[in-house]
A and B are shown apart, each in its own frame.
Chain A
Amino acid sequence: MKIIQLAIIVVVTLLADRAYADNIALDRSGPANYCNWQAVDYGIAEPLCGLVGDADRGRAIALDGSKGNCLACHELPVPDVEAYGTIGPPLSGVASRLTLPMIRLRVVDTRSFSPMSIMPGFYRDPGLINRPGKPYRGRTFLSAQQVEDVIAYMATLK
């Protein structure tokens, strides 16, 4: 019995990996309200859903532990932080190093061009997520508007 269960788990995880690889190569159509995006030259030129971001809102989202939670892994030019995350690169001056389209793709879905990256995709196609918790099914980490707000904030980090 256990052997069968074991075989099922191995097959399912293998299939999940296959599906993951296949989905990357195929289209990115998610649920009806998910705006498709296209990466060109390691960037997304067009704002998600054509939305305009707000830098102040973006800063608040970036610092909110339940939303962007950027400080968990990155340094940001923000005072009074006990210990910055050191998993990802520091974000001070990021807008001087990367173009806005490049920043957008990194926030949206770094793994689309760097498959082993540990960076979560904040607007990754929900169809690519393995075993999401019940409240998160079919959803992206941040909304398209929140992503554009964060990008507007990043643009100020020169």
Chain B
Amino acid sequence: MMLGIHRSAMMSCMLLLSMVTVDTMANDVRSGYEFIKPDTREIQDDDFANPGLLAVDEGRELFNSQQGGAGKTCSECHGEEGGDLDTGNIARYPVYDEDSSEIISLQKRINLCRENTGGDTLPSNHPDLIALETFVRHIAVGEPVNVQTDGPVSELLKAGEKLYNTRFGLIDMSCYQCHVLYPGQMIRGQKISQGQGNGFPAYRLDTGEVTNLNQRIQQCLSLLRAEPFDADSYEMELLELYIMSRSNGLRIETPAVRY
């Protein structure tokens, strides 16, 4: 009898312990900042050295000037320097729009704004669009990423996760294999990160360009010697949504500096 109680107590203790372990593992979300080299961190932290801030300045100028030929500036609606934008709202992107059943990324939102004010739209990942995206995202620096995960989005996230776990290309690797199984290990002289989205758009030392998450995913696929998905394909929307949801709780660092 005593032994029985003892055993069940031990069992529930172990069960509790294993639950705690799984929980901490699930919550161990770490920004790419923790995986980059110390001198790369210094560049990111120094407002005079971080080349990504040039894109922020460029975006600010575009924001305050006429956009899309509609004779209207972004700042007319959203305040000088975007001061009327809600940083908590910026941190929710990509968002799911129930009316149109569409995933709206930040660059898609900017294009919709241009369209709704009678202007023209820019092609995906156009340099002006990336500058605007970088500027707007930068306004929300420090805000924790807060992508919706419940309701209709939960099914979309499952589809995104499925893509995340799918092997692509001649290297025949999935996002999951590198960014979930091997973060912290060295590859080509760099530490593998968790592939989080909170720093994007980010300045990449490797390419010397400010790159949004969409482009970064495509660059990863090319490295795998896979055929990248088109920038505005549904697969990219699902991957971006899923990857950004993995970053929930991490503070926005745009423009981060990454390898």
- Asked if B41 is at the interface of the complex by the 8 Å CB criterion, the answer is no
Chain A, interface size category, equals 35 or more
**Which residue of chain A has its CB nearest to the CB of B192?**
A87
> Does B172 contact A3, Cβ atoms closer than 8 Å?
no
> Does A87 contact B162, Cβ atoms closer than 8 Å?
no
- Asked if A82 is at the interface of the complex by the 8 Å CB criterion, the answer is yes
**Which residue of chain B has its CB nearest to the CB of A140?**
B170
> Does B169 contact A131, Cβ atoms closer than 8 Å?
yes
Chain B, interface size category, equals 20 to 34
Q: How far is the CA of A155 from the CA of B12 in the complex (A)?
A: 52
> Does A131 contact B226, Cβ atoms closer than 8 Å?
yes
Q: How far is the CB of A42 from chain B (nearest CB, A)?
A: 20
> Does A84 contact B186, Cβ atoms closer than 8 Å?
yes
Given contacts A2-B234, A133-B222, A10 and B189 within 8 Å (CB-CB): no
- List chain A positions with a Cβ less than 8 A from chain B: 1-3, 5-6, 9-10, 13, 16-17, 20, 65, 69, 71-73, 82-87, 111, 116, 118, 120-121, 124, 128-134, 136, 139, 141
Extra contacts, 8 of them, besides A16-B166, A111-B172, A132-B225 (Cβ < 8 A), are: A83-B189, A85-B187, A120-B170, A131-B169, A133-B227, A133-B228, A139-B170, A141-B170
24 contacts between A and B (CB under 8 A): A2-B234, A6-B155, A9-B163, A9-B238, A13-B162, A13-B166, A65-B188, A69-B188, A73-B187, A85-B188, A86-B185, A111-B172, A118-B177, A118-B178, A118-B181, A120-B173, A121-B172, A129-B170, A131-B168, A131-B226, A132-B225, A133-B226, A133-B228, A136-B169
- List chain B positions with a Cβ less than 8 A from chain A: 101-102, 155-156, 159, 162-163, 166-173, 177-178, 181-182, 185-189, 192, 222, 225-228, 234-235, 238
